[in-house]
């Protein structure tokens, strides 16, 4: 499956990416709308995809939209908002059945692209702006989603360490927006933000599955006739801040278990030569159940209920996340830093490197087993503004050596230690 080519062209400033393959029974259509993370737009942009799903001029409410999807042999439509480096990305996804598996001769791809276009360009309006009832309903829903993050203490700790670690950088902003902005948003301001999105953002449209490339290109040129910003490229995220001293933050709440998160600057992003080596390093450090953090912090010392790390591809961030007893803070910090030092000293075997590479390759191959995964993997190149195909990345992982890993992890710098402890908790 790794030989799949995603072919890219541009039409009216819309970036079209086609991955034709007979491997899947469904065709996935994904539209990514990318703009820089900004304080004045982050919450409005997080609301827009949900308001747009409220209906189109042809299907003016959620019920009729759902009926239309059911008529399209159970097609699905979802939308979400993510953060990739310093960019906020709105994604619309549609999945439809591949036509060769249908009895009827219908062009579901054309129907899906037409519906997606309507969703984006023909929303239901009231007095020339969004319907106020829909906007208020989606504001309430977003408020509930933000509240649910506060209730999930692991996610909450991740939000807080990100705010603290990137105080002067756009990356501090959550992709789903902020509750404090909601009161300032109403139908008119949201509609203006939507108009600005259509004019200024970069649009990338992926179609992955079984189809004739020329047919889809023609459909897209017929349906998406609007002019987008031609040749708009994404400014890659800057990730080169140096650490002068470790920032330590303790918050107190009524929690039963402490959340200890450590944030590192890796100084390696998607476009760097040692990016794959840094990923192998993270896999050894805390990325899998066989990693140093899991074995030493959780298993050997019984210090944590969980201990893991994850790496962000575009900002060059590595986050260590652990759940600990309040009084285990000092020892947990000490042992996590011991594991970091062991990584930098090369205290791991060639066999462990090969095992970590195997797990990362399995992950990549699993992603390639779904149309959505192919689009997500391919989109990294757009966000980084750096051409490095999925196949090249897989081959690069295979060639990573122990020396490469040591060189990559030696660049890691601890930036912030965040601890969410119980009220009155002493550490």
Q: Which range among 3-17, 23-37, 396-410 shows the weakest confidence by mean pLDDT? A: 3-17
Report residue 42 as tokens: 């982050």
Q: What is the pLDDT of residue 427?
A: 44
pLDDT tops 50 at residue 69: yes
Return the residue matching tokens 């969410």: 420
Return the residue matching tokens 């079984």: 210
Give 213-222 pLDDT, tens digit per residue. Answer: 999 999 999 9
421 beta partners: 252
Residue 116: enclosing H or E segment and its boundaries?
Answer: helix 108-121
Please give the C-alpha separations between residue 156 and each of 54, 141, 150, 159, in angstroms, as whole numbers. Answer: 29, 18, 5, 5
Q: What is the pLDDT of residue 206?
A: 98
Domain positions in the chain are 7-223, 247-422
pLDDT band at residue 56, thresholds of 50, 70 and 90? very high
Q: Which range among 76-90, 201-215, 216-230, 393-407 shows the weakest confidence by mean pLDDT? A: 216-230
> What is the C-alpha separation between 120 and 203, in angstroms, rounded?
11
Give 338-359 pLDDT, tens digit per residue. Answer: 999 999 999 999 999 999 999 9
Q: Do 7-223 and 247-422 have matching folds?
A: yes
Interval 325-330 mean pLDDT = 94
Interval 237-254 mean pLDDT = 85
Single out the residue of 172, 151, 223, 197 nearest to residue 51, CA to CA. 197
Beta carbons within 8 Å of 152's beta carbon, 6+ residues apart? none
For residue 322, how many C-alpha atoms fall within 13 Å in the half-sphere facing its CB? 29
Report whether CATH 3.30.830.10 matches the domain 7-223.
yes
pLDDT tops 80 at residue 230: no
Return the residue matching tokens 């301001």: 189
pLDDT tops 90 at residue 301: no
Single out the residue of 276, 382, 377 nearest to residue 19, CA to CA. 377
* Mean pLDDT rounded to a whole number for the chain: 93
Give 259-282 pLDDT, tens digit per residue. Answer: 999 999 999 999 999 999 999 999
Q: CB 128: neighbour CB atoms within 10 A?
A: 8
Give 120-150 pLDDT, tens digit per residue. Answer: 999 999 999 999 999 999 999 999 999 999 9
Locate the DSSP E strands across 168-241: 202-209
pLDDT band at residue 244, thresholds of 50, 70 and 90? confident
pLDDT band at residue 4, thresholds of 50, 70 and 90? confident
Beta carbons within 8 Å of 25's beta carbon, 6+ residues apart? 97, 98, 101
336 beta partners: none
Q: What is the pLDDT of residue 389?
A: 86
Interval 31-50 mean pLDDT = 97
Q: Is the pTM of this model over 0.75?
A: yes
Report domain 247-422's class. alpha beta
pLDDT tops 70 at residue 288: yes
Q: What is the pLDDT of residue 299?
A: 81
Percent of the chain residues past pLDDT 70, beyond the cut? 95
**177 backbone φψ class: left, alpha, beta (φ>0; ψ -120 to 50):** left
pLDDT tops 70 at residue 2: no
């Amino acid at each position: 499956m790794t030989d799949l080519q995603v072919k890219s062209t541009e039409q009216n400033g819309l970036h079209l990416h086609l991955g034709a393959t007979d491997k899947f029974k469904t065709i996935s259509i994904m539209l990514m709308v990318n703009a820089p993370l900004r304080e004045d737009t982050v919450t409005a942009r997080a609301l827009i995809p949900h308001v747009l799903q409220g209906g189109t001029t042809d299907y003016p409410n959620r019920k009729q939209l759902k009926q239309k999807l059911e008529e399209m042999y159970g097609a699905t439509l979802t939308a979400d908002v993510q953060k990739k480096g310093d960019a906020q990305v709105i994604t619309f996804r549609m999945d439809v059945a591949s036509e060769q598996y249908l009895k009827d001769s219908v062009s579901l791809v054309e129907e899906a692209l037409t519906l997606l276009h309507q969703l984006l360009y023909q929303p239901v309006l009231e007095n020339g702006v969004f319907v106020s009832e829909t906007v208020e309903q989606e504001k309430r829903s977003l408020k509930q989603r933000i509240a649910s993050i506060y209730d999930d203490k692991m996610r909450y700790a991740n939000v807080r360490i990100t705010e603290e670690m990137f105080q002067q950088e756009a990356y501090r902003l959550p992709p789903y927006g902020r509750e404090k902005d909601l009161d300032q948003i109403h139908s008119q301001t949201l509609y203006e933000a939507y108009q600005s999105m259509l004019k200024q953002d970069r649009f990338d449209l992926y179609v992955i599955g079984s189809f004739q490339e020329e047919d889809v290109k023609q459909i897209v040129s017929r349906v998406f006739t609007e002019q987008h910003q031609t040749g708009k490229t994404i400014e890659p995220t800057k990730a080169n801040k140096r650490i002068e001293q470790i920032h330590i933050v303790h918050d107190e709440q009524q929690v039963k278990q402490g959340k200890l998160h450590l944030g590192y600057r890796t100084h390696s992003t998607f476009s760097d030569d040692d990016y794959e080596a840094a990923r192998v390093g993270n896999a050894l450090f805390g990325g899998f159940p066989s990693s140093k953090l899991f074995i030493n912090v959780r298993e050997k010392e019984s210090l944590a209920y969980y201990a893991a790390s994850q790496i962000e591809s575009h900002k060059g961030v590595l986050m260590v996340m652990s759940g600990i007893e309040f009084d285990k803070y000092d020892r947990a910090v000490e042992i996590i830093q011991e594991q970091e030092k062991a990584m930098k000293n090369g205290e791991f075997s060639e066999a462990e490197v090969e095992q970590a590479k195997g797990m990362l390759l399995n992950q990549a191959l699993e992603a390639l087993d779904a149309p959505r995964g192919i689009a997500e993997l391919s989109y990294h190149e757009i966000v980084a503004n750096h051409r490095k195909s999925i196949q090249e990345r897989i081959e690069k992982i295979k060639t990573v050596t122990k020396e490469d890993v040591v060189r990559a992890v030696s660049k890691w710098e601890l930036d912030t230690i965040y601890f969410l402890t119980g009220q009155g908790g002493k550490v």
